[in-house]
Structure 1
Amino acid sequence: MRVVCSFVGGAGHLHPQIPLHRALAAAGHELTLRGSASATQTAPREIYRTIAGRPDQRSQLADEIAPLAPVDIEHELAVIARHFAGDAARTSAAAISADLASTDLVVCDEVDFGAIGAAQQAGIPVAVVAVAVSGAIVRPRLLHDALTALGHDLGMSGPVRPYGDAFVVPFDPSMRDPAHPAPSNALWMRPDSGAAPQPDGSIVATLGTEFNTESGDLFDRILSALALLDAPATLAVGRDLDPSRFGDQPAHIKIRQYVDLAALVPRASVVLHHGGSGLFLQSVLGGAPQVVFPMGADQPFTADRVHDLGLGRVLDPMTATPDEIARVISAVRADGNMRSRVLALRSSTLALPEPAAVVEHLSRIAR
């Protein structure tokens, strides 16, 4: 098959798809990847015939870190309709339109409504990959008007159908918010397992690749907390921030633009992060409890799952002090029951069907 793989956001919209992309390539299918240039730089280039990255601001150093804003759930839900089903969708649809005449299958992330609609208008099967672990950020009833308008603009007779022909979920079913169940066409898929957990007492911290430049002084407060602890710590600030802006640090703290989280997280005693679904999953697979600072997007919903499943602690990014952060880190590191819950969820996640089984299903529905 000739497969177009598309994503509309940052790396967090690409990485959950990669196990499926690898399985498609391993089965002999021909892949084209389209998405933001900064995120395509992190893709395994050898599995794609073509990679076409759209320019984005994340490819350049940011001059400033914007102040933190209070979390506004209604605003975050509205962004899905206004942005992802609006201008971003039209940009994505235009980006893949030239590929569709010779395409058998489209694979895209769950808010790439432009790719979904373009495929549906062209009569091409589309596999939608979940990228929000909670399932709470994409709510079709709130999207109906926007998806109807998008469908009209794309020449469809009705609204874009957001779940596509197959809805691939690379998360354990228990991770999803019970109030927002997966659709009836869901296919559960095992993510990449990564290295086995071997905790060495270290700490890993990151605020991701989108909200890192909208985090106010949170990096500074995290660094001050890490300075209070006698544990090796690594803080990843993102490719678009210069580590030198944070000044000199104690010898046990390293600040990097980019780190290999797949190598570091399995050795961590705790992971501090923003509540991105990718970091949530990577922490579970690495066997590490989490301390979460939700700032926006789907992060508040992810934080709720961390709390409800007993996988870590949630702190207010606006008000958490260095002393509070340090105390919570110490408590989480010492909680053996919490780590046991993480490891049990890791085992459940790795028992999901392999990506190759999903590829077999997609091969049957592709034209």
Structure 2
Amino acid sequence: METRPDRRARISDEISPLLPVDRDAEVAVVAEYFAGDAARQSAEAIEAVISSTDLIVCDELDFGAMAAGARAGVPVVIVSVIASGSLVRADRVSDALERLRLELGLSEPIRYQGDLFVVPFTPTMRAPDFPAPDHAVWMRPDRGLKPDPNGSIVATLGTEFNTESGDLFDRILDALAEVDAPCVVAVGRDLDPARFGPQPSHVRVEQYVDLDALVPRASVVLHHGGSGLFMRSVLGGAPQILFPMGADQPFTADRVQHLGVGCVLDSQTADSTVIRERVAALRDDAKMRDRVTALRTETLALPDPAAVVRKVEALVTSAR
């Protein structure tokens, strides 16, 4: 299988053409890269400092940290970062993890779901085909600010896929130019806002914006479909328009559609007219906003982080 280029290897003001979404390739990258070279590098780095460590906390793609913990007999807490749970699949990572086990001389299989598996998403956000493990604990990620349905329209394509988005920013900006509402577009550190030319007075283009402050006052959020923006939009009470391009984004898009809290557009073909029409439709869709509010309420009802900290402390105590 041809591997896709490392999306994080380039820092440039240029935007490369959009690639077709390839779900299988994104799942394969987890086994071929994250459970391969990246895991070896991570394990080596962690083993250099693990002698004074009582606990390892890592995300669900850091297999090297999990392996280092197993080798040192240190408990490992996994924090889920993929809302849908669809990227780490036992049948796809098992061979790579077995090779890693043998390379590191471990006597038992690497526990890729750790001693504690923390999920800062609601159970309904997770795809039914990829349930959380039995030892999962759920956690409220944030208290959330009070939403303002009459606020700005916010758009971002993240900090990795922004430079692989072809002319998507241009199409979004053309759409927002004709929307009767304040609009804020974050293009990321690698792109100069000036490259997009003059914008109407109601459209602001920035490298970075405070999404934690803006999204709760957003009437619609347009984004690439990352798990973080999915959750942040829910906490902000805002309907979402997703333009999935890769990684976990197409799987996030599935959940957004299933839950009825936004819509999904083709990142390659959606023109400015379609984008503008969807923005207008979502701003006026009271039923969708009610569904977002319900999911927000469900999210805020998750256990407080302090409860999870107590479980982590108990895990460390029992391991001593």
Q: State the TM-score bracket (shorter-chain normalisation).
A: over 0.9
1:245 and 2:195 are equivalent in the alignment: yes
| 2:221 paired residue among 271, 288, 292 | 271
1:257 and 2:207 are equivalent in the alignment: yes
What is aligned with 2:273?
323
| 1:172 paired residue among 113, 119, 122 | 122
* Distance across 2 between alignment mates of 1:99 and 1:357: 28
Is contact 1:93-1:118 (8 Å) kept?
A: yes
Single out whichever of 189-198 and 210-219 deviates more from structure 2.
189-198
Seq. identity, %:
63
Could you tell me which runs of 5 or more consecutive residues in structure 2 were left unpaired when the two chains were aligned: 1-5
1:90 and 2:40 are equivalent in the alignment: yes
| 1:182 paired residue among 132, 140, 155 | 132
TM superposition shift of 1:91: 1.6
TM superposition shift of 1:200: 2.7
Is contact 2:13-2:163 (8 Å) kept?
A: no
* Distance across 2 between alignment mates of 1:357 and 1:129: 15
Alpha-carbon displacement from aligned partner over 1:229-250 (angstroms, at most 9, x marks no partner): 1111000011121111111111
TM superposition shift of 1:99: 1.8
Alpha-carbon displacement from aligned partner over 1:185-210 (angstroms, at most 9, x marks no partner): 10111111231112333100000111
What is aligned with 1:118?
68
Q: Secondary structure at the match of 2:39?
A: helix
Is contact 2:157-2:186 (8 Å) kept?
A: yes
- What amino acid does structure 1 have at the position aligned with 2:114? G
Alpha-carbon displacement from aligned partner over 1:134-156 (angstroms, at most 9, x marks no partner): 01111111110011111222221
Single out whichever of 278-287 and 64-73 deviates more from structure 2.
64-73
* Distance across 2 between alignment mates of 1:354 and 1:291: 29
What is aligned with 1:215?
165
What is aligned with 2:101?
151
- What amino acid does structure 1 have at the position aligned with 2:79? V
Aligned residue-pair number: 312
What is aligned with 2:246?
296
Could you tell me which runs of 5 or more consecutive residues in structure 1 were left unpaired when the two chains were aligned: 1-8, 11-55
TM superposition shift of 1:336: 0.5
What is aligned with 1:138?
88
Single out whichever of 297-306 and 87-96 deviates more from structure 2.
87-96
What is aligned with 2:55?
105
Q: Secondary structure at the match of 2:222?
A: strand
Compute the TM-score of the two structures, normalised by the length of structure 2. Answer: 0.95
| 2:264 paired residue among 298, 311, 314 | 314
Compute the TM-score of the two structures, normalised by the length of structure 1. Answer: 0.83
- What amino acid does structure 2 have at the position aligned with 1:257? Q
